[in-house]
Structures are given as C-alpha cells and as structure tokens.
A and B are shown apart, each in its own frame.
Chain A
Amino acid sequence: MSTENEWPLWEVFVRTKAGLDHKHCGSLHAADARMAVQMARDVYTRRQEGSSVWVVRSDQIVASDPGDKDMLFDPAEDKVYRHPTFYKLPDSVDQM
C-alpha cells in the first residue's frame, strides 16, 4: 500500500490556560493547517484542556540528534556556579 496519499503529520501544542506556555501534546494527520487546528481541538481538548492550540508540520521541526546528547548537554554538568545554591552566604542575608 502506498503512503503518498496519506495526509501529512502535524505536531500539536496546547496552551492549557492564559498565561501558560504552549506545551507539546501529540500529533495528528490533516490535509491542511486549518483542518489540523480543527482536529487538534477535537482530539486534544474535549474537556477544556486548552484555550489555544498551535499546529506545526512535523517535517518542519528540526530536532537535536539523540546521539549528540552528551556533547550538547553534558558540559553544563560541572558548572554548579550557575546555580544560586552554590553560594554560601551568612544566615542573616541568606534569603537573598
């Protein structure tokens, strides 16, 4: 069976309520952007889980390679001085 007539895949991001980030929640197939938004509404927000949705064609997303995970993210491991807890201050000013 050929798959060239399959509707393209879209990634769906939902903002659960005003003031929060849009968060990735899944994907779906739709023929075009408008249909993707409509279907995202039906598939991912049937119980008021959202107040706004974004859809992005899955083939438009550029992701980091899991093979590069160590190279990309490990260098931050030994930089403890980037965290406020690294600095020991006198008790009287420690709420800083």
Chain B
Amino acid sequence: MYTQAMDTMREEGGQPALRTAEEAALQQRFDNRIDAGDFIEAKDWMPDNYRKTLLRQISQHAHSEIVGMLPEGNWITRAPTLKRKAILLAKVQDEGGHGLYLYAAAETLGQSRDQMLDSLHSGKAKYSSIFNYPTLTWADVGTIGWLVDGAAIMNQVPICRCSYAPYARAMIRICREESFHQRQGYDSLLAMMQNGTEAQKAMVQDAVNRWWWPCLMMFGPPDDQSPNSAQGMRWGIKRVSNDTLRQKFVDATVQQAQVLGVSLPDPDLRWNEATQHWDFGTIDWSEFWRVVGGEGPCNRERLAMRVAAWEEGEWVREAALAHSRKQARKEKAA
C-alpha cells in the first residue's frame, strides 16, 4: 500500500551547508551516481535529507500495509463462503508480509523497528489515509481489492525503480503479489453482479460510490500543490507524478467498471478525444486533508487497534526472548 509521506512532510529547511571539502566530494559522487541511474545501497554514503526522506516514506509505507490489514481483517470471520474466507486470509497475510519487507528495508537506514512502531503508535507517523474509511458491507472487501489495491499497484510499480536499492527490492517482491489482490477483489464483485440478487448488486454499487473518490486521493495532491515531488524526482525516489498516476488509474478503471456493470460516481467523467484520456471531476481536497489530519471516520479506531495489539503482545515478545536467552545460557554451560 502507498504512503503520502512525500506530500505530507513539512519542508526540511533546505540543504544544510556542507562542512568539508570531503563531504562536498561525497555529495558530488552521490549526485553523479543518481544521474547515472545507479542504485544506492544501505552502507553507501548518502545525504542526510535523502536518508530522512526515505526513512519517512518507507516506514509510512510499512505502517500503511499493517494498518491496511484492519479494514479487511474485519470481514475474515464473516466471509460468505469458505473459498472467499481462504482468499481473504491469504490476502491479509500478504499485507502483513508487505509490512515486514518494508520495515526491514527502512531499518537499513538506521532506525529500529521499535522506534518506527513507537512513531506510529504515538500518532507522529502517518499511514495512507484510505484505511481510515470503514468497511460497511462484504462488497467493500471486493471493492478494496479492485480499487484500493489497483491504485496501490499504479503507485507502487514505479517505486520498483527507486534509487534506494533495499526499497526497490522490497517493492519488486510486493508488486509480484499485488496482482492477485486486485483480481480476487474484482472476481468477488463480479460474482455478485452476475449472479447476485438486486440487493447484492445495489450493495456493490454503494461500495463503489463510497470508495471511488478516496481512491483518487490515494495518489496525493495535484502536482502544483506537491512541493516535495521535485526533490523526490531528483533523487530517483519518485518516478512518476501524482496527476499522471491518477490519470492512468482512471483510464484503466473506467472500462473495468463497465464490464462489471457499475457506474462511477462522477457526472463529469467523459472521454476526451483530444487528449485520449478520461476527464474527471474535481476532487474534494479538503476531505483528504481532514482525513490526513486525523479526522477521518476511523482514524481513532484504527490506531487504537494497533496500539492494543502491540501492548497485548508484549508478554509474548518478552517470553520468547527470555526463552532464547535461557537456551543460550544452557548451551554455554553444557
């Protein structure tokens, strides 16, 4: 899942003055490598702001995967069939795995897992605002797979070419797994639209109506209001602009909606012969900033669940560590 780190971070106050000639040379070498399309590895020299930006983006991406397990996990025990339950379990487990790959990538930049989790739990770190919306019906689960994972794929594919190699490698692994997420969601909605009752069809349409606009917001603010994007592009962290990705997503989704037999809740949606793209209506960015700022429908609930899971698991973490220390002592004594 995606993070809005690049768009929601405050300005860092520009590059600090370089202290020594040696550092200037290192900076020059780093810039050259970025320009040449080289990958940067964990132990390589990198500018402080590059490290900080990545740490923020990767950790927030990891948080998004983990918090993203909650809205769908909510439906595992209520899936309509054993088949859908097994699929949903596998999907939610994948998201947990994605979180782990990404935490591991972020740790290579010098922050511990516990520190990152502490930032999440204290509310200092953000996660993708899409997960602050509720999953009211079973159709929401399919819609998340189709639209939310679909938008995430659009966002994530370009990060497979990120200049920071541990992040790029994690993203390649993740992208390999995401396609199943989107397809199973669409498949589940298709079952309802083709074989379902009128009430079930209406349920799918209602879910699509509620998720459509928040999904378009997942790509972040418009390019002209995304001040950190340029630096991200310069560093090879961001490869494609927010608006370009959003347009790609709309273009890809319109036909899928037609095949599914649902409408998208936008009266301004129409094909533009001149641009060869789908034009779409104005996004309510005040809603986006409200949800990012903590006032979405489920912000408090999601965070409270994460904190509870962490606190209630503490005795398990301690016991496992105590056991391994005891075993190590025994081995030494023997």
Report 6 cross-chain contacts, Cβ distance below 8 Å, ordered by A residue: A2-B114, A9-B107, A25-B173, A26-B101, A31-B323, A66-B43
Let me know if B327 and A32 touch, CB within 8 A.
Answer: yes
Does chain A have a CB within 8 A of B44?
Answer: yes
Let me know if B101 and A5 touch, CB within 8 A.
Answer: no
Let me know if B104 and A26 touch, CB within 8 A.
Answer: yes
Cα–Cα, bound, A79→B109 (Å) = 36
B41 CB to closest chain A CB, in angstroms? 7
Let me know if B43 and A1 touch, CB within 8 A.
Answer: no
Task: Write the A22-49 contact mask toward B (1 if CB under 8 angstroms, else 0).
Answer: 0001111101100100000011001100
**Number of residues on chain B facing chain A (CB within 8 A):** 27
Cα–Cα, bound, A28→B97 (Å) = 10
Cα–Cα, bound, A5→B316 (Å) = 12
Let me know if A5 and B323 touch, CB within 8 A.
Answer: no
- Shortest 10 CB-CB contacts between residues of A and residues of B: A31-B320, A32-B324, A3-B112, A1-B118, A31-B324, A27-B104, A66-B43, A3-B114, A6-B114, A31-B321
Does chain B have a CB within 8 A of A20?
Answer: no
- The chain B residues found within 8 Å of chain A, CB to CB, are 41, 43-44, 90, 93-94, 97, 100-101, 104, 107, 112-115, 118, 169-170, 173, 177, 317-318, 320-321, 323-324, 327
Does chain B have a CB within 8 A of A63?
Answer: yes
Q: Which of B41, B100, B113 contacts A6 (CB 8 A)?
A: B113
Let me know if B320 and A7 touch, CB within 8 A.
Answer: yes
In the assembled complex, which residues on chain B have CB atoms less than 8 Å from the CB atom of A5? 114, 317-318, 321
B-contacting residues, A32-82, CB 8 Å: 32, 35, 42-43, 46-47, 63, 65-66
Cα–Cα, bound, A66→B317 (Å) = 35
B321 to chain A: closest residue by CB: A31
A9-B107, A65-B43, A66-B41 as given contacts; A28 in contact with B100, CB under 8 Å: yes
In the assembled complex, which residues on chain B have CB atoms less than 8 Å from the CB atom of A65? 43
Cα–Cα, bound, A47→B180 (Å) = 12
A7-B317, A28-B100, A65-B43 as given contacts; A1 in contact with B115, CB under 8 Å: yes
Beyond the given A3-B112, A26-B173, could you list 18 further A-B residue pairs with CB under 8 A, ordered by the A residue number?
Answer: A6-B112, A7-B317, A7-B320, A9-B107, A26-B101, A26-B170, A27-B104, A28-B100, A28-B104, A31-B323, A32-B324, A35-B320, A42-B93, A42-B97, A43-B97, A46-B94, A65-B43, A66-B43
Q: Which of B100, B177, B318, B323 contacts A32 (CB 8 A)?
A: B323
Cα–Cα, bound, A42→B115 (Å) = 24
Let me know if B321 and A3 touch, CB within 8 A.
Answer: no
In the assembled complex, which residues on chain B have CB atoms less than 8 Å from the CB atom of A66? 41, 43-44
B112 CB to closest chain A CB, in angstroms? 4
Cα–Cα, bound, A3→B112 (Å) = 7
